[in-house]
Amino acid sequence: MAEKQFTVIDEAGIHARPASVLVSTANKFQSDIFLIHKGRDVNLKSILGVMSLGIGSGEEFAIRAEGTDAEDALVELEKTLQNEGLAK
């Protein structure tokens, strides 16, 4: 299992376009991947799940991956967050 904390830096928060990019990236991996925010965790491979959290600018969240390629998934998702200017 791998987990990492992030803070949203995009002024619009995690809205539809970046959420779809994250979901697309997560779906490249076999591991179960979760987005965790305010005690709730959702499947990061589900756009509806991600959008249901309503994560705004300045808020903290975590990504947890469980499975054979969990470390690789977390590294790739972190790169995606940074490249999209979404979180640090």
The CATH number that applies at residue 47 is 3.30.1340.10
Burial of 65 (0-12, 13-18, 19+ CB in 10 A): buried
Q: Which domain, by its residues, includes 43?
A: 2-84
Per-residue model confidence as pLDDT tens digits over 25-69 = 999 999 999 999 999 999 999 999 999 999 999 999 999 999 999
- This prediction's pTM: 0.93
Amino acid at 72: D
The count of structural domains within the chain is 1
Q: Which residues are part of the catalytic machinery?
A: 15
Predicted local confidence at residue 35, as pLDDT: 97
